[in-house]
Amino acid sequence: MKCPVCACLEDKVLETRFIGEGNSIRRRRECIACGYRFTTYEVVEEKKLMVIKRDERREVFSIDKLASGINKAIEKRPVSRVVIDDLLREIEEDAIRRAGVTHEISSHEIGEMVMEKLHDLDEVAYIRFASVYRQFKGVNEFIREIKNIKKR
């Protein structure tokens, strides 16, 4: 670590402490050349979850984008904000778990997770989301999906 006073690259660590839940480390250091004492912090640089779109583009997972789609589907339905927030948290955690070490998940997988959760939560919201996600072209596709709901 470079000394902030003399720019020497040699120092010794005097003290090391874990901060919070062990997600970061605080170190007290002393410069070998000038004796100046300074503090450094180390944190793990986490890799962002990437979403693979239908056209193979990759973009950073956005909880706000997901929330927007779900909020449109749930609009004017008797679903509380707490339930929606829990739903978003569950989907994000599932996506991270499924992405594994590659930190990549397809938009198709996320869409299917949302539809599964909405199906259990509110059938109208499920149909609304499915119509956009699956790009329904006409009334017959709505009718077919409603019949599938009734079968379940």
- The strands making up 58-60's β-sheet, listed across from edge to edge, are 58-60, 50-52, 104-106
Please tell me the distance from the alpha carbon of residue 148 to that of residue 72, in angstroms, as a whole number: 22
Please tell me the distance from the alpha carbon of residue 23 to that of residue 46, in angstroms, as a whole number: 11
pTM, full prediction: 0.64
Element (DSSP H or E) covering residue 108: helix 107-121
pLDDT tens string, the chain, 152 residues long: the values are 899 999 999 999 999 999 887 889 999 999 999 999 999 999 987 788 999 998 999 999 999 999 999 999 999 999 889 999 999 999 999 998 888 888 999 999 999 999 889 988 988 898 888 888 778 888 878 778 888 777 76
Q: Provide the residue type at 32 as one letter.
A: I
Sorted by sequence, the CB contacts under 8 Å of residue 48 that are 6+ apart come out as: 60, 61, 103
